[in-house]
Amino acid sequence: MALGIAGAAFVGGWLSAGWVVSLDGVVRQRFGGQRFRVPSRVYSAPTIIYPGLDWKLIDLEGGLRRLGYRRVAESARLEPGQYIWDASRVRISVRAFAHPSRPEPARDVVVRLSGSSIEEIRELPAGREIWALPLEPEQIGAYYGPNREQRDLVVLDELPPHVIDAVLAVEDRRFESHAGLDPRRIAGALIANLRAGAVKQGGSTLTQQLVKNFFLTPERTFRRKAQEAVMALLVEFRYDKHEILQAYLNEIYLGQRGATAIHGIGEASRVFYGKSARRLSVAEAALIAAIIRSPNGLSPYREAESAVKRRDLVLDLMRRQGRIDDAAWRGAKAETLRLAAVTPDVGDARYFLDLLRRQLSSVYSEDVLASEGLRIYTTLDGRAQRLAARALREGLEDLEKRYSGLATQEPERALQGCLVAMRPQTGEILALVGGRDYGDSQFDRCTQARRQTGSVFKPFVYIAALEPRGVGPKLTLASFVDDSPLEVKTPSGPWRPRNFDREFHGSVPVREALERSFNVATARLGQDVGIRRVIELARRFGVTSPLPEVPSLALGTAEVSPMEMVRAYATLANGGVLPEVQAIEDLVGKGGKTLERRRLRFERVLDAGTAFLATSMLRGVAERGTAAGLRSNGLRGPVAAKTGTTDGEHDLWLVGYTPELVAAVWIGFDEPRSIGIPSSVGALPIWRRFVQELTGGEIRGKFRRPPEVTVADIQPATGWLALTGCPERRPEFFLKGTVPRITCPTGAVSDVQGDDSPAVRRRFFDWLRRQM
């Protein structure tokens, strides 16, 4: 019998030893590999404030709050991340930030205000004048793993002692002396729970808590508790206290920020106080330690009174254990709860985040983005993005209210749209909204959809005719085009284009043809220029979508993405220079190493003179043509734009630009069907609202005329050069060498080389007969 007992004991011991060995393997694998999955963070471009800027327009105080800055009283001592605001000045303690290409130190500044304008900025205490002040980039998102956990890893040696002491005082006062289990703590918790008749205290050490979070499921069974105890002993056996404590401080769960779990004191410090854990005060450290027990039940935002009460308990423990002196204890207890402004997850930028993910996927896998803690600095303008999202959402809602047939209760059948904005000189994406609601549809209509462009494609036809290639341009801005009935033979039968008004207008000035978006005149010009040449020009402008070589291409029957169109129009705004689309400024990896840096790339694809002429024509569209509604709410300054409405009103477009901005709006149904309104009613108001709110209604800058463009007076009725005695005249732009040779009032041919075509002579004699 004794032999049987011994055998059973041997087998049991062997099995137990095997169990322990397997647990030890789990511990070594988890601790020896990547301990934490840190999501990559994505940041907007920094906001820059400067004298002359309209602080109300940019919502300066709202921007400070979104960055986690806290407004304090005039008498308060300013710490980084705080500001004082009064009627004539703002004092800001600006936080340092480590942007890879434009880092900024912490500084104390005074921003003086005059009405809605910033008058001057000075740095304290010396009073040195600052001409431009960058504020740190705003986090616009992150690439999470399946658990949506966010961390800001801390290094134990860089933390002030009181941060560590606060945690040890309340969670494990004998951490430095026990071997993973604390019998005294277990016994004390057992007695307290028996007296209370319920579980009021836990006996787990800090090491046991780490093991539970690191390795085990939350189930409460004897086997799991046994695993926890054995693994805690193994962790203490294999790793030193320094490693264990640092891992704990980075792993511990400390609440929620929307759908994202806050893990570690580094992230908690950033969320609660808008600062690094290295700069936590005694009271702030005590509060974070206090909520470890029940992060959501003791949330300082929702349960401030309970959180402060437990914070004070932690301070009492720290004093009783000799971790702080009486003076520090009194000062910390007197400190009010000074939380950073709540900055909920940014939802407006999720289409942009998906675009970034697709761009990065060729180099960085989904797992890397969700675990390596990359910092991705982007070109996105946070304010422009918010305004774009609101303009699109509310613009579509307004259309549904005005035209009840557009509304539906089925999200997949809802009226959709997109808005993308770019800086034309650099190709930087400033805003991108790929749909009205990312929650309902993640399909990005700005970059993933191709839709018929309608009349926003027509400028390519006119540019192809204006561009001097070989013998010279096909026309000038003084030319006339033919809007009489047209029939073109095609393999599928004769094609007869029609105008929107179902009328024909005869010989019309080229400006009027584009401003009023005459289909027949544009189609005939496309035939004169050659559809192949139009395609070649569109390709130079960055259009990569299929462009069928058919007559109707001139009227925008090809399907193209809004991103392609906004880049093409950016080329005009940029004087004929095609920019490469930019979404990323810098990408930073572990240890602050820069992995990617933006490289601006450009290519001249059109001479500056022709680009200016095209811009002049499109300014006419915005002043007198189909896009004239852009001015209806008082939008001032230079704007060039083109509307586009496809056959059956399935797609509504407006693409337009200013000297500093180009933006495209598209509206339609994902499964194409008639919207029943033109683009001037559908897309234009959304574009107008976005640009008006972004600029405050006053567009800066000007479209500069290049040296190769000259100005001459012409007679509007004929397009001739207007000399002294001509009864009517208006100025017009011309490429040098293309000024009309026929002159008004005599009809004589001048010595200036220019347009001397038979069509011009025919118009002269027609005009002469009308005068007789």
Among all residues, which ones are annotated catalytic?
171, 455
How many CB atoms sit inside 10 A of residue 57's CB? 16
Q: Residue 141: which region, alpha, beta or left (left: phi > 0; alpha: psi -120 to 50)?
A: left
Q: How many CB atoms lie within 10 A of CB 764?
A: 17
d(CA 140, CA 144): 13
Nearest residue to 112 via CA among 90, 86, 83: 90
- Residue 685: CB atoms within 10 A of its CB come to 21
What is the largest distance, in Å, between two alpha-carbon atoms of the chain? 138
**Beta strand extents in 167-315 (DSSP E only):** 253-257, 260-263
Q: What is the radius of gyration, based on Cα positions, of the chain?
A: 34
CB 537 within 8 A of CB 463: yes
- Three-state SS annotation for 136-176: CCCEEEEECCCCCEECCCCCHHHCCHHHHHHHHHHHCCCCC
DSSP labels for 740-765? -SBEETT-PBPSS-----HHHHHHHH
Question: Which tokens hold the place of 717?
Answer: 């009725």
Of 330, 380, 336, 385, nearest to 356 by C-alpha is 380
CA 18 to chain centre: 54
Per-residue H/E/C for 658-695: CCCCEEEEEEECCCCCCCCCCHHHHHHHHHHHHHHHHH
DSSP string, 526-559: HHHH-HHHHHHHHHHTT--S----SGGGGGT-SE
Beta bridge partners of 573: none
Cα gap 159→382, rounded to integer Å: 32
Task: Provide the token pair at 283.
Answer: 């009271």
Pick the closest to residue 691 from 590, 750, 622 (CA basis). Answer: 622
Q: How far apart are CA 453 and CA 642, in angstroms?
A: 11
Question: Residues 6 or more apart from 363 whose CB is under 8 A from it?
Answer: none
List, in sequence order, the alpha helices (H) in 435-561: 458-466, 510-515, 519-529, 531-540
Tell me whether residue 625 is exposed, middle or buried, using C-beta atoms within 10 angstroms of its C-beta: 0 to 12, 13 to 18, 19 or more: buried
Dihedrals phi, psi of 547, to nearest 5 degrees: -125, 100
Identify the sign of the CA torsion 87, 88, 93, 96.
Answer: positive
Determine the residue type at 484.
S
Neighbours of 761 (CB within 10 A): 13
Count Cα atoms within 13 angstroms, Cβ side, for 138: 24
Count each helix (H run) and each strand (E run) in the chain, helices first: 22, 31
Q: Residues 433, 388: contact at Cβ < 8 Å?
A: yes
Bridge partners for 135 per DSSP? 47
Q: Is the peptide bond before 137 cis (omega within 30 degrees of 0)?
A: no
